[in-house]
Amino acid sequence: MSAPGLAMTDRLPLEQLLAQGRPAAHPVALTPDGPRDFRDFMLAVSAWAETFRTTTAQRIALYCEDSFEFASALFAAWHSGKCVFLPGDGLPGTLTALAAKVDAFAGDLPKALKPAPATAGTDAPMTWSALNPDAEQLVIFTSGSTGTPEAIGKRLGQLFREAGNLARCFNHALPASAIVLATVSHQHIYGLLFRILWPLASGHAFVSTRLAYPEDMLAAMRSCSAVLVASPAHLKRLPVHLPWSEARPFMLFSSGGPLPVEALHACRTLLGQAPREIFGSSETGGIAWRQRHADDNACWQPLPGVTLEVRDGLLHVSSEHAPDSTWLDARTRARHTPAGIVLEGRTDQIVKIEEKRVSLTAVEALLLATGLVHEVGLVMLERPRTGLGVVIVLSPAGRELLSRQGRQVVNAQLREALAGHLDPVSLPRRWRHVEQLPVNAQGKVTQAALNACFQETFAPPEAVLLQHADGEARLSLMVPAGSDHFAGHFPGQPVLPGVTQLDWAIHYGRRLFDLSAAFMRLEQVKFQQLITPDLPLTLILGHDPARQLLTFRFVSEHGAHASGRIVFGDA
């Protein structure tokens, strides 16, 4: 079980992690219930392995909130010969779509497999064989940032080589005591590699809970030499009022999308360093990295095990992290310079509208150049007619114009900024204003979430899930003018009825939490401000399972609109 001669942070091939092992007291994770060492990890893997060995299911969908539990279940499934599917989240829609692809669910899901209970003898050491690097035992899904998420099979050797190459690239700069913290989910490839596999291969402990809020990041970094694994979505929203100088990370990573220059500058100022940015994809794995210490336009360098070529302006990749040695098209425009690779945008950001080619990258740049927009999300809409939909977060100048002259004037100015560059038939026809772009657990903006901003039915609007952790959820939603929800309330001054707001709180609460009991009563319900058409709203839900209680708050940039508590229970 253990290898007495192995140093604390010696690299260990992951196929040998259980077969060769580490010292029993070697730290593996910091959990809400206390630290977990390698002996605890082995026992947890054994408990899960007992479950997997007694089921005939071969394709297992695994979803766990806690990274220590997830890592234990993952290695147990692999050693039991199972193929693990990783859903990006645990939402009902995701699980319904996955049900046809798998034989069973495991982890923090309804009616899912759980680890076997401890019995006499479970403390005894188990003998483990090495994993087969050629076995295809993982299926991950693309984030859906450019369309419907696609399933991608991975051989264990691809993952293990990449984890080892990350250690080759970055371990030399880390102290043995460094602990890995993350704002991203391990259910996606970036979080899986940087939050789970690299630490296990390197011998560094990791924090098992995801840091959803800046305050969580700050508190966690105060107590250790932290390696912070983050995304642009988190790094561009660092509150300047928090005392970051008291708890700066030892090493900082960013991946999942381009890091805006203003976020780069904020990291340098608040966190004391530029992040190590990672470029890659679910298909290729990690491709390149850079750290922009002082040069905002520093070039990209290939990661260990990766060779890059630019052919006819397009980036091609040969990688140890890919299924084979075939050169892969990275679907990215690029150019080679003596200092490294310059990336110039994805090639799949071109769409056709009425047979006219439109660059989404160019549209985004034009809107940002107006100074009225802070962030942009673009989506192709098919109904009621094909065209661009634009989801925007206004800048301070944009919000000021909105308050003075209204939404129509803002949209008209943005449309005018595009008019000189796009054919009239290509101009966006539908606009949505939100407080922040919807992101998934990996910090990526997805096409499905952007599409949801334009769904208009009498049913509750398809809100965008912003955060979901530790019994709390935040959703972004908006009811457009002309919606049936405003019918009869009231002519000339439409407002959203209070009973509708209560219905939505229950609707989303049941979707996100275990609220199978019947509605019993309302408590402390207050309606502070009217909700009017086209007002971007945030719905904040809290769940107390012990009391069968759901709290809700509707808020906007104007403050609180409604709040209260909804009690459930048996009839």
∠ CA 186-189-195, rounded to 5°: 40
pLDDT single digits (tens) 76-95:
999 999 999 999 888 787 88
Residue pointed to by tokens 């060995």: 53
pLDDT single digits (tens) 313-329:
899 999 988 887 788 88
| 96-118 b/e (C-beta count within 10 Å ≥ 16 → b) | eebeeebebbbbebeebbebbee
DSSP-derived 3-state class of residue 117 = coil
Kindly state the tokens that stand for 81.
């010969």
pLDDT single digits (tens) 178-214:
999 999 999 999 999 999 999 999 999 999 999 988 8
Q: Would you say 375 and 437 are in contact if contact means Cβ atoms under 8 Å apart?
A: yes
Dist CA 393 CA 15 (whole Å): 45
Q: Would you say 6 and 22 are in contact if contact means Cβ atoms under 8 Å apart?
A: yes
Dist CA 118 CA 40 (whole Å): 12
Listed in sequence order, the residues at least 6 apart from 235 whose beta carbon sits closer than 8 Å to its beta carbon are 254, 259, 263, 266, 267, 275
pLDDT of residue 154: 95
Dist CA 513 CA 533 (whole Å): 28
Q: Would you say 194 and 180 are in contact if contact means Cβ atoms under 8 Å apart?
A: yes
CATH number of 350-433: 3.30.300.30
CA max distance for the chain: 79
Q: Which of 2-16, 35-49, 468-482 tops mean pLDDT?
A: 35-49
pLDDT of residue 114: 95
| 207-242 b/e (C-beta count within 10 Å ≥ 16 → b) | bbbbbbbbebbbebbeebebbbbbbbbbbbebeeee
Say whether 455-569 and 350-433 share the same fold: no
pLDDT over threshold 50, residue 505:
yes
Q: Is the bond preceding 384 in cis, omega lying within 30 degrees of 0?
A: yes
Least confident among 58-67, 124-133, 445-454: 445-454
pLDDT of residue 3: 39
Residue pointed to by tokens 């005894």: 124
pLDDT mean across residues, the chain: 87
Domain 15-131 has CATH 3.90.380: no
At 492, the pLDDT band (50, 70, 90 cuts) reads low
pLDDT single digits (tens) 518-536:
788 889 999 999 998 888 8
∠ CA 140-145-147, rounded to 5°: 85
Q: Would you say 63 and 187 are in contact if contact means Cβ atoms under 8 Å apart?
A: yes
In total, the chain counts a number of residues equal to: 571
The CATH fold assigned to 455-569 is: Thiol Ester Dehydrase; Chain A (3.10.129)
Q: Would you say 95 and 105 are in contact if contact means Cβ atoms under 8 Å apart?
A: yes
Residue that wins the pLDDT comparison between 430 and 9 = 430
pLDDT of residue 72: 97
Rg for the chain (alpha carbons), in Å? 25
In 3D space, the residue among 466, 415, 414, 463 whose CA is nearest the CA of residue 437 turns out to be 466
Listed in sequence order, the residues at least 6 apart from 225 whose beta carbon sits closer than 8 Å to its beta carbon are 174, 175, 177, 178, 179, 250
* Predicted TM-score (pTM) of this structure: 0.69
Q: Which of 278-282, 299-303, 565-569 tops mean pLDDT?
A: 299-303
Domain residue spans in the chain?
15-131, 350-433, 455-569
Listed in sequence order, the residues at least 6 apart from 489 whose beta carbon sits closer than 8 Å to its beta carbon are 495, 496, 497
DSSP structure string for 403-440: HHH-HHHHHHHHHHHHHTTS-GGGS--EEEE-SS----
* DSSP for residue 130: P
Residue pointed to by tokens 């007495």: 4
